[in-house]
Chain A
């Protein structure tokens, strides 16, 4: 064990990162979740990131827990405390620890030649040996070893064991033997660390009161909850990481709130389709028939759905598509995050197509915008893309509790019912009766007068087949006007002003939000002031163009290689292209404030030089 003499010089309280290196498939997720939840329960704000491989068992996996007393929303990028449980990545994990930090490893097996750093504390504890002595079968031993490192971390940092016990009791409910077994494993870790490490520790967890009114939830569950509250009754999907847990979430909430207790009948239908072409087709069929329906997927799914998306756009069928983005192209990095489908979604399908998109930044917005997405789809009778990503969708985020207004009524848009159809002389599906480019639709089964033929082939305002150029253009031009009219109805941009007037600004989108805000604070400390606008909807509100016009230099921060948001801003507004400076973070990791801070800083220095 190496102990650095002056380690006490800088004690960090509730402001450091614990990173757990483990092997995929060993059941470490619940131990890591327990650790993070316990910190959250102690009132300390946390940011958790699960960095996992595309694999069922055997490849390395990491879990980062950032304790952030200042309530930052992003990962910090550094590691102060490494729990190195994976021999395979030990060398890399050791290298990653910040100077003055700690590394806990399992010394049941010797790890020669790897204690090469003298600027950190490497602490060996025989967790596997202790657990093997205490527990019987192989699987239990592995699971309990994970709980043992929770105990060891608690022992080192001062994490409240009473809080951990409370969580373990909640986790296992009435299964007392499981509670005791897990607590025993935690105690093994506590005892072991007490025995081998008696020196004071520079990383401390102390109770705070900064998590009240907050929840720890992932964006996919939050979006699923939004679907429930929006009144969606139909969802079709094909399993794909990282969107799978969205449908799992919808199933979970529906089983809780949508099953008739007496009859067992379900006020929802979920169909696992044969592929994404079928899942979007099913969602279109359900929407066409008047139900609120959706399909969750990721980029590869959107590629497959593209033909149908154009059909729904041209036939004016409402539809909500959740794109939980992952790194492409092709299979790409299926378990890594990116914002690489921005343009794919905005213009999905062949021919002239433009879609409405919403861009949540965190699980709270996932809940709210999911509800909005269904209203937008019904109101504008068109597919709506809900653009989230793996980081937002699959990681647990600390966000304020969600609100719900019980007076909310969904906006089902212009639908003619039986009585209205009875009164009118003749109904035409694509007639712009109100001059707002939005026609009236009817639901099959209501009235013979409402019958019309939905087609992806050329049609005129009456809904009839046409190959006449003028009639065709008339419908196409109305679709443009309809789409444009959504610009001020989609969620508007959020602007954060710098402490001092400035001609510099950042524009960003989605899950980069927390990292941008943290970078702004750091830049401000260096005397660099930037305003910030976060895009939340497409088509772009006029406010976005005027924001860009008001600045001389705008850094467009996004997570893809090709500066897709920047491209859309250039294509859809009249702003000066040279003003928009791309800052692209596309390595597949959740947004990093240091990258943004350094990127903006370097650009400012260059400009000054």
Chain B
């Protein structure tokens, strides 16, 4: 088969600031299973980028290998995309970002891609505070190879045939917190109203923004006994923080402050309005965030929302003293020192 072009009928649809409709943010037709959580994440991404009025050419999509990684073809068809090798998307994103920090980097990965084969690159991209939105579409299972457990499968969660997982799961949010990420969130593909603001906030956060999205696999991990099924996730879904993203300061209302909420101004534009849903949770307190996630899951609750945010960390560009003009646009005459300099340099070798 070849990839299918999605018909784009934009008539009567509202336009954003760029005059684009939501159709302009879609990509080719998804080839995932009907009902796949990943397609809901794709829909949330399309919604978020349309709402942000993101210029298609200002975004670059990066992914690895797996069901989740395929989805970069299914949104923003007018943006460049690179579907790299398994588990190695962070390195490609690092190089791309180093030479052009003006683009928005959107990385889509999965639990196999990020927590097994690509665990090292995932960790080091966080350590470098690479400025990108990094989404893990987390379903606890390998879909394309037909149902093996991934590293995020919970202890006791079973395969379709009833065999339980006995290995400790890796929680990407806990890992990201310990590695120094400045934006750590968890969402659920079934809650678009929570996910869209998180995506917008993550994209505008300067630095590494992780959103771990529980995204059920309808074919291999949606049965009774699975802790990453739709039914299980809906049942134990527990938002800790409510997040709203607004594009500019004028839109702040007093409502959140009266409610004990807080506002976070992002360096690249926009404001995050956060409201606590659990009375004692503070998304500025890393120790508390780690502690909360490490606690045994009372009643099996899946804690979601913006778990931690620190918008003031230096990103990779700053740490490397890179210029404002992207390196890929620096003129050759400014890169080559010329023959006189060569002669001078070689004097030290005579």
Interface residues of A (CB under 8 A from B): 214-217, 225, 228-229, 231, 233-234, 236, 253, 256-258, 260, 263-269, 271, 273-275, 277-291, 293, 307-308, 311, 315, 401-406, 408-410, 442-457, 460, 464-468, 471
Contact = CB atoms under 8 A, between A and B. Distances in A.
A265 B322 contact: yes
B341 A257 contact: yes
9 tightest A-B CB contacts, nearest first = A281-B91, A285-B95, A282-B95, A444-B80, A286-B95, A291-B99, A285-B92, A285-B96, A448-B78
Among A236, A288, A457, the most chain B Cβ lie within 10 Å of the Cβ of: A288
Contacts of A460: 2
A604 to B, nearest CB: 40
For chain B, give the interface size range: 35 or more
Contacts of B120: 274-275, 278
Contact of B320 (A228, A231, A266, A284): A266
A215 B349 contact: yes
A114 to B, nearest CB: 39
Contact of A465 (B3, B124, B321, B323): B3
A404 B338 contact: yes
A233 B124 contact: no
Interface string B54-98: 011110101000000000110001111111110010111111111
A293 B96 CA distance: 10
Interface in B320-336: 320-324, 327-328, 330, 332, 334-336
B50 to A, nearest CB: 14
B73 A285 contact: no
Given A308-B84, A401-B343, A466-B2, 13 more contacts: A228-B337, A233-B330, A233-B335, A265-B324, A267-B335, A278-B88, A284-B95, A286-B99, A291-B327, A307-B88, A408-B336, A445-B58, A445-B60
A510 to B, nearest CB: 21
Contacts of B2: 460, 464-468, 471
Contacts of B95: 234, 236, 271, 281-289, 293
B206 to A, nearest CB: 17
B321 A405 contact: no
A278 B124 contact: yes
B145 interface: no
Contact of A282 (B94, B102, B350): B94
B99 A216 contact: no
B190 to A, nearest CB: 28
A451 B56 contact: yes
A183 B224 CA distance: 83
28 contacts: A217-B346, A228-B336, A234-B99, A277-B121, A281-B91, A283-B95, A284-B84, A285-B62, A285-B92, A285-B95, A286-B99, A288-B96, A291-B328, A307-B85, A404-B342, A406-B339, A444-B57, A444-B80, A444-B103, A448-B55, A448-B57, A450-B57, A450-B80, A451-B56, A453-B73, A453-B80, A454-B82, A465-B3
A260 B327 CA distance: 13
Among A263, A264, A265, the most chain B Cβ lie within 10 Å of the Cβ of: A265
A273 B128 CA distance: 10
Nearest to B99: A291
Nearest to B120: A274
Contacts of B102: 445
A311 B85 contact: yes
Contacts of A456: 83-85
Contacts of A402: 342, 346
Interface of B: 1-3, 28, 55-58, 60, 62, 72-73, 77-85, 88, 90-100, 102-103, 120-121, 123-124, 128, 320-324, 327-328, 330, 332, 334-339, 341-343, 345-346, 349-350
Contacts of A466: 1-3
A164 B79 CA distance: 62
Among A266, A268, A291, A445, the most chain B Cβ lie within 10 Å of the Cβ of: A445
A256 to B, nearest CB: 7
Nearest to B78: A448
Contact of A288 (B73, B82, B320, B330): B82
Nearest to B93: A285
Contact of A444 (B60, B72, B90, B332): B60
B83 A457 contact: yes
B6 to A, nearest CB: 13
B80 A271 contact: no
Contacts of A216: 349-350
Contact of B98 (A269, A404, A448): A269
A285 B77 contact: no
B124 to A, nearest CB: 4
B337 A281 contact: no
A245 B94 CA distance: 23
A443 B100 CA distance: 11
A231 B336 contact: yes
Nearest to B86: A307
A456 B60 CA distance: 17
B83 A231 contact: no
A370 to B, nearest CB: 13
Nearest to B73: A453
A183 to B, nearest CB: 21
A274 B128 CA distance: 11
A225 B321 CA distance: 21
Contacts of A233: 99, 327-328, 330, 335
